[in-house]
A and B are shown apart, each in its own frame.
Chain A
């Protein structure tokens, strides 16, 4: 089915080395028994006494501080959205192939002169695994589709090939930026099939 692979043996990053978000670890004082580990190992210790003690379920109260804290969309979140897309050639994620990387994602206000405007522009630079990769457009399109499906309407998406990583970067960038050509591409059943397959691995 597949024609000749363009890059048979790309370099792969170990998943442990990909950037991830560190969850603020729950501070020890929160748990009655002072130890997350024991609370985890013996889950039954945590309920009973505490929860039943007063009739209004208290956990939601203690959560509410956390609940009210806003977590704005940041670069890491964009990375998490697109790094799980798989490469059309290999069953490997774009993150592991370093096609997308955290430093190459930027979120900026779309209208810097209007400070209150909620509009944001996301710029993603993609780095093809080899400089003559003809699939760069497809990858770019995949990233674009994924972000447009997953970001709220106030976000503009801008996907580009990173400077100096592709022989025909300008050409590809023009295609990716051209709304009508993108729209036309998305009408193409075969192409959408490829992109849908790439996005199967996004959970």
Chain B
């Protein structure tokens, strides 16, 4: 059998094999074993066969061989012969690919190209009827010719244009259309189409709007957006299309489909941006007349937004090259009907259509300085007249808002003070009205009754826009505004929700970015002057002032001044002899902390000063205070020390290493000389005052790098750690004790080298046998949990062992131990401010998961055991064990409250029964409330994430719903117990509630979420329709019960009940039609 015959046999089912045959023959040709002529001749009878399939295979054979030849192999003559051959045979499969191969060769000439093109165009009707893949080859050939031999096609002029359109007429396949559109675009751009404008336009516009939706798993990855983009490029390609395109597109806006309207608007925007300005001008008013309705009677925001963009783009296009403004400009003609319409709508500015009119003005005026000027010229004066004659404050307010929108456009056009772009040359037309604006806004802001908050806020916003607008107000005018703001903040009582003050502070902060000098010169002195030198605790008006200062001081210069001034105040306070209130120094420190926390301190030139004045000096003073050598005891107040500590921590973290090493040496000495202050660790006896300095030491320690050489750390920190641990167990003030506990945790987590972990574990173990002891002290338990936290977070090898022994504490026969331990579980994973990633704590990502997956099965099986034992010995439940089950549930809630809900989901079947049992802890005491609150929190997350279905899968819908309803009830516990309880003030109200209001709200929230169908899109419609809601059986129970919750004495509860009931009424469909 000849190679040709084999090829024809296999080509249909084994492409690989066929190609190999062709390659073999090609090698033969190369090595001159055979010649092309021989091959063509061998095709012989096949290419004249009646069966087009056979002919096609024969031609494909030739093509395959040619394809396998090296590009330079064929002589020009051979190329010519082959081209002619293929053109004759263009109807046969394989010919098009053959030509495509040839036309890439260098020896393919212009004449050949023309021959090919003619052959293609003449045979368009045959080619059209081919299968999609073969049509694709045709378009690909044409596309290739367009890039390789465009000149030839161009010379053919109309022939190639009409030929191509004929060829693609009726094309429907998206892959082919992608090619077709890009080929046609070349014609539209480069050919002289003047005789065929409509013909060409129709050939593409027929496809508008594109409704193609790619099939699922489409291998070609063509989206309908791709097609839309290419089609849009064609429609917008040349201004000559305008007479056809623009009316047609505007017509499409009558469509009822929002998607069609969206496509039409997008295409329109493309046309506006690509047609030449003269053309755009010709249609500008027609476009406005149509788009007006889309904006004034907006159906959807995105349609109105697109329409506004179109108007804005027209203004931009018509402003091109405009240097002088005149009424004759096309731009002016375009804007005239727009401003007329808007002026009319704005005459009643509080009516519905005033809003869209404002947006129209904004869009059109933002186009360019010229369009802004033209609009301001005709709009502002009538607005001001209306304002003067307005009969009410609501109308004035709406007018102020309109003006403010124009100010915003001005900012877009002319920039703000801080804008970096080059200044706009044109003059700002608003300057003409500057004094009027200033007067109106000032009057509205300061001359209105104080209760008109929203009106004054509108004025404030307008004023602020003008103050930040570049080159508009003079310094003195902005200064006046700043003074107004000062007055509002310092002198006025706040009305309502203090919204005006909030806006005023935000405005000052904004101005400080643009004109920091004004804030420094006007606001700063005024504010600082109101700060007292001393506070006896009666007047706390300095707090709002400090709050304002903190928020204003965003700019560097202001920040520095603020810190310096406040530090001066503080050092004065520390020198005072009489004991003032600690609140004032605390507030000052808080302010400094707030502003420093907002800024990046690294590399701050003032860092050295902060270190000296705050870290060194203040710590030293604190040490002096602790030793009783200070003038007053401000620095012995734990809350003051707490803030000071945070401040030091912030600074220490940013210090260069050398300074940090200095701090390391002074963690415990606090920069004081040994005579003045005795460091706490290893001290034989310490006073409460001295112990308190551990707050500072802890914060300093936290800010240091992990490899710092701590004092008392050679050969290892064993002694230091045991000393601090010992102190953590001895009772001291709560704040001090917490600091010491954190100190322990920091040492064990951050500073203890991995090799020395045994030190910490054995310390921990020395405490654990506690379960046998009947101690009632909870201090060792705190130490145990903090130490455990430190080790667990770094996933020490003993983590699992630690967790199990912590859990065993819950089963302690002593209720106190058990309860304290149960609460401790909340500490384990709780984010801590000091043992935190920011402070370089060693926190492993998987720690949370490890804790959760270790503990949950254990807790679950423990509780099951308790349930079994207590039910089997029903007559005499051992009173000793009463506390154990609640303790387990408390521990569970502690863990749940500190863990991400995503971890919870997989364990749901184990967890849900436990959660339901937690809800059964119906008692008014605070532990039960806390446990139930945490449970509801978890439940609400579960329900929100995965809806009612997961609960149904576990079969707990009914039990969950009843428990939630029970928790939502308002039930004063046993009112019979309280008749003699006069001790608590109002005897009637003295009783405790089983369900606090928060709990009631939370459980109603869960009920609400249950009825909300979550991720409704994910559920297949069929499945949803076919299945009744699992909530249906309980619907009536819920609705009935909630009706009574609607009468709860608390407003928040009622609100939640209304929402929940609404959701059940709406969301849970009863099948009433079938039932009744």
Residues of A within 8 A of B (CB): 8-14, 16-17, 22, 28, 32-35, 37-38, 41-42, 44-45, 48-49, 52-57, 60-61, 63-64, 67-68, 70-73, 77, 81, 90, 92, 149-154, 196, 199, 202-203
A33 touches B586 (CB 8 A): yes
Cα separation A54 to B643 with both chains bound (whole Å): 21
Shortest C-beta distance, A64 to chain B (Å), equals 8
In the assembled complex, the Cα of A191 lies from the Cα of B593 at a distance in Å of 60
Q: Which of B597, B1046, B1059, B1061 contacts A203 (CB 8 A)?
A: B1059
Q: Is B53 an interface residue (CB 8 A)?
A: no
Residues on the B chain within 8 Å of A13, using CB: 350, 394
Chain A nearest CB from B1074 CB (Å) reads 15
Q: Closest approach, in angstroms, between the C-beta of B915 and any C-beta of chain A? A: 20
A-B contacts, 29 of them at CB < 8 A, read: A8-B353, A11-B348, A11-B352, A14-B350, A14-B398, A16-B454, A17-B394, A22-B497, A28-B543, A33-B587, A33-B590, A33-B639, A33-B643, A34-B583, A38-B550, A38-B591, A42-B593, A44-B833, A48-B738, A55-B778, A56-B927, A68-B989, A71-B1051, A77-B1051, A150-B1058, A150-B1061, A150-B1062, A152-B1044, A203-B1059
Contacts of B986 in A (CB 8 A): 68
Question: Which residues of chain B have C-beta atoms less than 8 A from A60's C-beta?
Answer: 926, 929-930, 996
Cα A119 to Cα B1054 in complex, Å, equals: 17
In the complex, A45→B649 CA distance in Å?
Answer: 14
Asked if B496 is at the interface of the complex by the 8 Å CB criterion, the answer is: yes
With A49-B734, A71-B1051, A152-B1043 in contact, do A41 and B1062 touch (Cβ < 8 Å)?
no
Closest to B453 in A: A16
Closest to A1 in B: B256
Decide if A67 touches B996 in the complex (CB within 8 Å): yes
Chain B residues with Cβ below 8 Å from A38 are 547, 550, 587, 590-591, 594
CB distance from B451 to the nearest CB of A (A): 11
7 nearest A-B residue pairs (beta carbon)? A53-B734, A152-B1047, A16-B454, A68-B989, A152-B1046, A70-B1049, A150-B1058
Task: List, in ascending order, chain B residues with CB within 8 A of A10's CB.
Answer: 351-352
Q: Which residue of A lies closest to B827 (CB)?
A: A52
Which of these, B453, B457, B926, contacts A57 with CB under 8 Å? Answer: B926
Say if the beta carbon of B1065 comes within 8 Å of chain A: yes
Q: Which residue of B lies closest to A54 (CB)?
A: B734
Q: Considering only CB atoms, which chain B residue lies closest to A66 in the complex?
A: B997
Query: Is B297's beta carbon under 8 Å from chain A?
Result: yes
Residue of A nearest to B502 (CB): A37
CB distance from A4 to the nearest CB of B (A): 12
CA distance A202 to B1008 in the complex (A): 14
Contact with A along B962-985 (1 / 0, CB 8 A): 000000000000000000000000
Is A49's CB under 8 angstroms from B638's CB?
yes
- Pairwise interchain contact A90-B397, C-beta atoms closer than 8 A: no
Question: B1010 at interface (Cβ–Cβ under 8 A)?
Answer: no
Contacts A11-B348, A49-B638 aside, 9 further interface pairs with beta carbons under 8 A come to: A11-B352, A13-B350, A16-B457, A32-B639, A41-B594, A56-B927, A63-B996, A67-B996, A149-B1062
Tell which of B352, B638, B926 touches A12, judged by Cβ atoms closer than 8 Å: B352
* Interchain CA distance A17-B394 in the complex, whole Å: 9
Contact of A11 among B351, B496, B1065 (CB under 8 A): B351
CB contacts (< 8 Å) of A81 on chain B: these are 1058
Which residues of B lie under 8 Å from residue A32 when comparing CB positions?
Answer: 639
| Residue of B with least CB distance to A14 | B454
Note all chain B residues with C-beta closer than 8 A to A28: 540, 543
Q: Say whether A90 contacts B586, CB under 8 Å.
A: no
How distant is B357 from chain A, measured CB to nearest CB, in Å?
10
- B394 CB to nearest chain A CB (Å): 7
Please tell me if the beta carbons of A48 and B833 are within 8 angstroms of each other in the complex: yes
Kindly state the separation between the CA atoms of A17 and B1051 in the bound complex, as whole angstroms: 22
Distance, CA A61 to CA B930, complexed state (A): 12
| Beta-carbon contact of B1062 and A49 below 8 Å | no
Tell me the smallest distance from the CB of A79 to a CB of chain B, in Å.
13
Task: Please report the C-alpha to C-alpha distance between residue A52 and residue B638 in the assembled complex, in whole angstroms.
Answer: 14
Tell whether A71 pairs with B1050 under 8 Å between CB atoms, given A8-B297, A35-B543, A61-B926: yes
CA distance A143 to B499 in the complex (A): 31
A196 to B1063, CA, bound (A): 12
> Which of B823, B993, B1058 has the most C-beta atoms of chain A within 10 angstroms of its own C-beta?
B1058
Which residue on B lies nearest to A118, using beta carbons? B1047
For B547, the chain A residues whose CB sits under 8 A away are 35, 37-38
A49 touches which one: B735, B823, B1046 (CB < 8 A)? Answer: B735
B91 CB-CB contact with A under 8 Å: no
Which chain B positions have C-beta within 8 A of A14? 350, 394, 397-398, 454
Per-position binary interface string of chain B over residues 727-745, scored 1 when its CB falls under 8 Å from any chain A CB and 0 otherwise: 0000000110010000000
Is B642 positioned at the interface, with any CB of A under 8 Å from its CB?
yes
Cα distance A8–B583 when bound, in Å?
58
Residues A196 and B1066 in contact in the complex (CB < 8 Å), given A34-B540, A55-B823: yes
Q: Is the CB of B926 within 8 A of A56?
A: yes
| Complex interface: chain B residues within 8 A of A35 (CB) | 543, 546-547, 587, 590
Q: How far is the CB of A196 from chain B (nearest CB, A)?
A: 7
Q: Does B59 contact A (CB under 8 A)?
A: no
Give chain A residues whose Cβ lies under 8 Å from the Cβ of B1062.
149-150, 199, 202
B1043 to chain A: closest CB distance in Å? 6
A60 to B593, alpha carbons, bound, how many Å?
29
Whole-angstrom CA separation of A157 from B982 in the bound complex: 40
Chain A residue with the shortest CB-CB distance to B590: A38
The interface residues of chain B lying within 8 Å CB-to-CB of A72 are: 1049
